Structure 1
Amino acid sequence: MTNKLLTTASRCIAAIALAGAAGPVWAEETVKIAGFTWPGYGFWHIAAEKGLAPDLDIQYQTIEDPYESFNLVAAGQLDVVSSTAEFTPVGVERGLPVKLVAFGNLSNGTDKVVAGPGVETAADLAGKEVAVLEGGLAQIYVAMWLEQNGAAYDSVVYRNIIADDAFAAMIGGGVAASEFWEPYGSNTLKALEGSSILTQSDEPFWLKNAVVADGHYMSNELINNRRDVALKTMQAMYDAIAWWKENPAEGNGIIAKGMGMSVSDVELVLGKDGTSLDGGLYVYDFIEAAQFCGAAPGNPPFEQTNGQMSDHWNLVSEWWVKFGLIQEVKAPETGVECSLHKELYDSGYRG
């Protein structure tokens, strides 16, 4: 019996020594993230694959309907949603426990309004059907363009058709025009003889006003009750962007695999050289996003201004009032949370 006890004790001591030599084992915090199939959200895949946040278990799932994602946040089943940046006022109106915490990227040519044969001006679209994601950024984009060009925003019939279905509707003549992101816009222009671009997101007006953009949203529970995890999650995303800038070819491959897209389609959107200027999407790094939030000194790119997040909130809110999705324009702080950027910046983090 004594020998057995000694043997057991020796084994326990050896096990403890080995565990100590290997270092402490920390439990990973799970972060559940969702977004639709889009290269601009692919940096989550880089963060996970490259282990840029070793104490986080980053779980990204593709959900094509952003409204489903936000409902899952409300149900406590998601922590983060990457989506277009216009949703927050609608979410606030519906009482969803979510905040826009970062401007993720800006469309720099990847979005365009494509018209079918015979349509050259806003007036030509009067009474005709235009495919958009109703209640989404595409609808605001088209409506603003119509008003800029002397037509009422409601002079067209908006049809809730997107992506492949909008492509098919354009080819079949079911709609007169459509808002597209890549690769659907380029594919339509190639396939439909006589089609043309009415407006494209790399025009200075759209860039300066940051009209067509993506954002990252976090649940109130993550922001308020798991603050350290929220900060680590945000840092992981910006570390992934910094890594991609240094390794664009490998990074695009990781994003393509994670999103189930071809590398060529990812390159069409993000570019090949890591500058964010040779594709159709400009990716904000940490400092630029913090400046847009007003959480770091200096101005963001494209003649944008420090703290423009509030102006963007007001812009989209005013349009949702026009479209009847919300009743009134509320204060930006009801739906925007820039304190995470501020806390990271004040800690010395620079991305």
Structure 2
Amino acid sequence: MTMTLLKTVSRCVTAIALAGTPGLVSAAESVRIAGFTWPGYGFWHIAIEKGLAPDLDIAYQTIEDPYESFNLVAAGQLDVVSSTAEFTPVGVERGMPVKLVAFGNLSYGTDKIVAGPGIESAADLAGKEVAVLEGGLAQIYVAMWLEQNGQPYDSVTYRNIIADDAFAAMIGGGVAASEFWEPYGTNTLKALEGASVLAQSKEPFWLKSGVIADGHYMSDALISDRRDVALLTMKAMYDSIGWWKQNPAEGNQIIADGMNMSIADVELVIGKDGTGLDGGLYVYDFMEAAQFCGSAPGNPPFDQVNGQMTEHWNLVSDWWVKFNLIEKAAAPETGIDCSLHKELYDGGYRG
């Protein structure tokens, strides 16, 4: 586990005017953020390294288990979690004081369903074991793909094996297929003769649905009790994304250093040119994320529609009911808060 901490010199000021952001903040405000090792969350490191949020004292902590991060939010020990975008219905049913406030990035090929030798179709997987992160997007991805291809979602046995362990299980023949994100998918294809890709997230259906994505979560306390700080935190993230788009080489190196990853793996995921179209992950800028939330006019990319955050909530909730992870689907507003995007947009911020 790694932690990068920016210590900002505390100073007394009468008022700090933040262009495009409502509210005033005096001195540096502490914000505690966590996410697992993934380049899509590395923009927090850019905010820290480049001093893009001088009014915030950002502490970013790498925690590989998202459930641990959300439990820390519930305990009042974290303010923000960057994680995959399917958790909120589960958190709502468990009474966790957290909201999904933004879509962060969309899988643009980094997620793949990889099969071992002799597996060429969904029908070939029937009765076999598939490695996924149970209770995560990987499980929904495989289930939806099976149904798209004429097989019941429960025609396979889901095994809760991820990352390095799933790679080893595939190589050893312990599972017939696995859902992988990079670099594990590419590594498996290289190492296992006869392995093939059954589906990958760059296909138009997956892009349009927005189902395989990352999100950013904030505690209810941050949103309600420290709203000026919440707005500054969201702005810092989008300012960092904007900086990365203009400086992708330096930005990727900052992310690689902050995440303890190789620069090659970072580039494999988010690309080299800052467009988000030359890697495996498409990063939403402020306007795109606000459109997805329904807080700014216009439509997000990839034939998605304005306000699709609600549709995504309903889709994910329905699957968690099927998998008995939750008892029933709750209303979207119980787990989604798009008001920060709206307030920033109405204040003139455009990222």
Q: TM-score under structure 2 normalisation?
A: 0.93
Match of 1:345 in 2: 345
Match of 1:328 in 2: 328
User: What SS is found at the alignment partner of 2:249?
Assistant: helix
Match of 2:213 in 1: 213
User: What SS is found at the alignment partner of 2:333?
Assistant: helix
Give the Cα–Cα distance (whole angstroms) in 2 for the partners of residues 27 and 76 of structure 1: 22
Match of 2:195 in 1: 195
Give the Cα–Cα distance (whole angstroms) in 2 for the partners of residues 288 and 27 of structure 1: 31
Give the Cα–Cα distance (whole angstroms) in 1 for the partners of residues 179 and 267 of structure 2: 20
User: Is it true that 1:246 corresponds to 2:242 in the alignment?
Assistant: no
Match of 1:293 in 2: 293
- Please show how residues 176-187 of structure 1 align to structure 2 within 5 Å: 176-187=176-187
How many residue pairs are counted as aligned between the two chains? 331
- Please show how residues 213-232 of structure 1 align to structure 2 within 5 Å: 213-232=213-232
Q: Higher helix fraction: Structure 1 or Structure 2?
A: 1
Match of 1:156 in 2: 156
Give the Cα–Cα distance (whole angstroms) in 2 for the partners of residues 75 and 93 of structure 1: 17
Match of 1:275 in 2: 275
Match of 1:4 in 2: none
After superposing on structure 2, the runs of 4+ consecutive aligned residues of structure 1 that deviate more than 4 Å are 23-26
1:264-317 CA-partner distances (Å, limit 9, x unpaired): 100000100001100010000000000000000000000000000000000000
Match of 1:5 in 2: none
1:120-160 CA-partner distances (Å, limit 9, x unpaired): 11111111110000000000000000000000100101000
Over the aligned positions, Cα root-mean-square deviation in angstroms equals: 1.4
Percentage of pairs with the same residue:
83
Match of 2:50 in 1: 50
Aligned AA (2:227)? R
1:46-89 CA-partner distances (Å, limit 9, x unpaired): 00111111010111111000000000000000000000000000
Give the Cα–Cα distance (whole angstroms) in 2 for the partners of residues 129 and 122 of structure 1: 12
Match of 1:11 in 2: none
User: What SS is found at the alignment partner of 2:214?
Assistant: strand
List runs of 5+ in structure 1 lacking aligned partners. 1-18
Match of 2:263 in 1: 263
Match of 2:124 in 1: 124
1:27 shift after superposition: 3.1
Aligned AA (2:286)? F
1:306-335 CA-partner distances (Å, limit 9, x unpaired): 000000000000000000011111111000
Aligned AA (1:249)? A
List runs of 5+ in structure 2 lacking aligned partners. 1-10, 17-24
